[in-house]
Amino acid sequence: MTLGHQSGTDKPKDECGVFGIYAPGTNVARLTYYGLYALQHRGQESAGIAVADGDRIQLSKAMGLVPEVFSADTIDNLSGDLAIGHVRYSTTGSSSPLNAQPLVFRYTGGQLGLAHNGNLTNVTELRSQLLSTGSIFQSSTDSEVVVNLIARYSQSTLEEAVMKTMIDIKGAYSLVLLTEDKLIAVRDPYGFRPLCIGSLGNGYVVASESCALDTVGAKFLRDVEPGEIVTIDSTGLKSAHVLPAKCRAHCIFEYIYVARPDSTIDNYNVNRVRRKLGHQLAAEFPVDADLVIPVPDSGTASARGYAEATGIPFEEGLMKNRYIGRTFIQPSQDMRDLAVRLKLNPVREVLEGKRVVMVDDSIVRGTTSGKLVAMLHDCGVKEVHMCLSSPPVIRSCYYGIDTSDEKELIAANMQLDEIRQSIGADSLHYLSLEGLLDIFDDYRDNFCTACFSGIYPVEVVKPKDTGKYSLE
Ligand code: SF4
């Protein structure tokens, strides 16, 4: 795991976004480009599109944001009836062009493209088994292990090869696969990472989040079920349930931070969930204050919820610069505070002399929160009450989100009041895990909460000697 912070912030790094389309008669490359644009928040390191026209698969991918990777000419040269696309932030495998996806390879069954969101937890073991029997790897991604396994089973039909691969692999995966004439979507038996299906004319679209379906004009049909393989070709859509889930374990962090608020995942709209998190936070910690302000953008909906529930006025007290991209030059050591100020600037006229509740989604390492609190005090804020719409992050994620190494997680290493002191807040409140799960009523047992609870739905081994978690 690498250190999880984006330029000037202290957030988990996102993961990956996948998109697939089967829609003969449309410009599938362009639609995939727009779909990936809608999923850009899930990965900013590389982007790729693979298009099939019945005879062959063409691929275009590179490091960079979607608009940096594809020109209009590139897109117009990718013609076909079906396509898959991927945006990536590296959770497994380094940041390198070789690790960009989709992966496209040739095997005895023809050509196959694959795009993957999630992390496998038994990849080390599988990779050594494959290496010992002659497999060669180009990249360091766990996705290439999936590709190799499918190729190993190529004496079967592709669907059977995918089913056999699903029995071998463990952990989190939402996959989209492409042959010359067929699109396949797969979700792991726990349903860690989201994946949904929409219709577009006579065709279909699959995507990590429903916001991408909306963007391309597709009508949301349903989520891909945990353990399901969906096959789409000229005969229509077929579904097979391969591995019955022992339990569902949707990533609860998708709702708190990762997903776009306009997406609906497994029947829960992200914005609505965040709003309710704010209500719950207010019920647990009703602070006497003059203003509620969000840390934009992921804290905004919960801050509104907190304001609604308490009647305290909501104000935008921190302005976000939306133009800080991947190529942003990090300030030198002596200019470190600049990194936060570049991204978030307080509005003195709104804040001066006020007692403020500042709502954020989570604290990972605690570095940014301290700087934000200091900035508010510099503006003459009388009291800063920090409210988090999630429980303390105390464990690393091994299922596709980079939440930082455990020794970097402030809540894994400090008590509540030590954290409060270290960030300089007048009070600090984390939503309880019970309060978080209450949002989902009867569906509450269907989530992974490992980074908050330490209960990992798919086993992660902690060797006694090093004390460090490793993947089995
Ligand atoms: Fe999501 Fe946390 Fe579980 Fe990872 S450990 S899948 S971030 S809930």
pLDDT at residue 367 is higher than 60? yes
What number is the average pLDDT over the span 265-270? Answer: 98
Phi, psi of 223 (to 5 degrees): -80, 150
Helix or strand (DSSP H, E) at 76: helix 72-76
Phi, psi of 69 (to 5 degrees): -80, -40
Residues in a beta bridge with 104: 113
Q: Mean pLDDT, the chain, as a whole number?
A: 90
One of 16, 196, 251, 451 is an active-site residue; which one? 16
Residues in a beta bridge with 112: 105
Give the separation between CA 259 and CA 223, rounded to whole angstroms.
15
CA of 52 to the centre of ligand 1 (A): 34
CA of 290 to the centre of ligand 1 (A): 34
Q: Quick: pLDDT tens for 21-38.
A: 999 999 999 999 999 999
CA of 457 to the centre of ligand 1 (A): 10
- The HSE-up count of residue 10 (CA atoms within 13 Å, CB side) is 21
Dihedral in degrees, nearest 10, Cα atoms 166, 169, 172, 173:
-50
What number is the average pLDDT over the span 308-313? Answer: 98
Domains and CATH numbers, the chain: 16-251 (3.60.20.10), 271-441 (3.40.50.2020)
Give the separation between CA 306 and CA 281, rounded to whole angstroms.
7
Q: Quick: pLDDT tens for 138-190.
A: 877 889 999 999 999 988 899 999 999 999 999 999 999 999 999 999 999 99
111-115, 120-124, 134-138: least confidently modelled range: 134-138
Determine the 3-state secondary structure of 441 from DSSP: helix
Q: Quick: pLDDT tens for 391-412.
A: 999 999 999 988 778 899 999 9
CA of 241 to the centre of ligand 1 (A): 24
Give the separation between CA 95 and CA 18, rounded to whole angstroms.
18
- The HSE-up count of residue 250 (CA atoms within 13 Å, CB side) is 24
Q: Which residue has the higher pLDDT, 108 or 394?
A: 394
Nearest CA to ligand 1 atom 1: 251
- Please choose from 117, 250, 251, 446 the residue to mutate so as to test ligand 1's pocket, defined by most ligand atoms within 8 A of CB: 251
Could you tell me the CA-to-CA distances from 287 to 96, 111, 166, 219, 426 in Å, in that order? 47, 59, 49, 42, 11
Pocket around ligand 1: residues whose beta carbon is below 6 Å from it?
192, 251-253, 397, 399, 401, 403, 448-451
Q: Quick: pLDDT tens for 83-107.
A: 999 999 865 556 678 789 999 999 8
Whole-model pTM over 0.85 = yes
**Tokens linked to 452:** 């908050």
Percent of the chain with pLDDT strictly greater than 90: 77
16 is catalytic: yes
Determine the 3-state secondary structure of 412 from DSSP: helix
